[in-house]
Amino acid sequence: MSADAKDTRVLFLGPNNMRNATASDFPQQSKAVTEMGAEFVVYDGESDGELIEALKDTDVAMAAGHGISPDLFVHMGNNGRCKGLVSFGHGYDGMDLDAAVENGVVLANTASFGTEEVSNQTMMHFLVCSRKFVLHDKLVKNGTWTRDHLAPMGHINGQTFGIIGLGDIGRTVARKAQAFGMKVIGYDPFVSSWDAKEYGVEMVGTPQEIAKRSDYVSPHTYLTPKTRHMIGTEFLGLMKPTAYLINCSRGPVVDEKALIEALQQGKIAGAGLDVFEQEPIDPKNPLLKMDNVSVTNHYASYSEVAWSRANTQLGEEAMRVALGYWPMSLINPDVRSTVEPRNWAVSWEVMLAEQGK
């Protein structure tokens, strides 16, 4: 399956009120499209009916700040000209993967753009927790200079860092934890022990073993029905009372009620959180009042460099889908069984060469 780039139309679904916008208003998102000589069209409609009509005349859609109902999948994939949808960001918990597979719609995102940023945020929370920074920062700023609250203090070197999910971010966190002299163990049912060996990670058979053995636990998994509340009462009950939970993945991966109870009862030592079950977080949430909990407002993936890369990657993935390649960040792999064969995903430089650009 292949297409001619010069006859290709890419529909950009940005924020609302996009009247009279053109590719020049979105230089990063349109970069790959214009490099290939394809047409970049900014959607300016407001209703599902208008969007359905726009999809009839496009090869792939890109969503950045514009919600798209899974009901529209019946007009895409095997049912129309538009073969896929590429969404900005890492997560895909708002997507109906089954509906996309049924209709042959290829779904992709821009995963990996913020790998360094999320892993850095994870390590920041890890260090803040291990050194009890939240409490001591508060004490000093309130005029209290004391050493009464030092113990227990994390030694770090030689301790165990447990990772759930060894994707791009999980592997990067593993490398950075090893730089601190830590032993890294991991749970990921989709990664073999011999592959993990290349990353210096000891694989374990269950999440419960991660809970029992780790001094720091850090999930790096997508939010799916299987991962929702993966870390709950049972998991937290197995953790060491001196252990910390770090979460820079998705809020609902952790049962927040169970986490609050575990912290209040001293079952674990503390937590570092960038994500929450309810966002924005309720100002009355007990987590915000705890001196052993560090919090940030779901910005782990952000830096100017990462954001630029994500927007550029959005266009690159769109062109892969439009020209008959698989995207690098395919999020519904089961669609391979419902669509015509495609070319394997290749790097952008190789794509340019293959297309004679």
Full domain range(s) for residue 51: 5-113+304-354
155 and 93 belong to one structural domain: no
**Statement to judge: residues 79 and 189 lie in one domain:** no
Q: Per residue in 6-50, pLDDT tens?
A: 899 999 998 766 677 888 899 999 999 999 999 999 998 888 899
234 and 197 within one domain: yes
Kindly state the average pLDDT of the residues 302-321.
Answer: 95
Which two structure tokens, joined as six digits, stand for 201? 């990670």
Active site residue 279: yes
Model pLDDT for residues 141-182, shown as the tens digit of each residue: 999 999 999 998 989 999 999 999 999 999 999 999 999 999
Residue 251's closest CA among 284, 274, 275? 275
Are residues 33 and 182 both part of a single domain? no
Q: Among the options 9, 213, 298, 342, which is catalytic?
A: 298
50 is catalytic: no
Given the residues 90, 171, 250, 342, select the one marked as catalytic: 250
| Partners of residue 244 on adjacent β-strands | 216, 270
Distance CA 236, CA 259 (A): 7
10 and 155 part of one domain: no
CA distance 58 to 83: 9
Torsion of CA 281, 282, 285, 290, to 10 degrees: 50
Cβ atoms of residues 172 and 119 within 8 Å: yes
The catalytic residue among 46, 53, 279, 354 is 279
Q: Above 90 in pLDDT, residue 314? A: yes
For residues 94 and 135, membership in a common domain is answered with no
pLDDT in tens, 53-89: 999 999 999 998 777 888 999 999 999 999 999 998 8
pLDDT of residue 1: 46
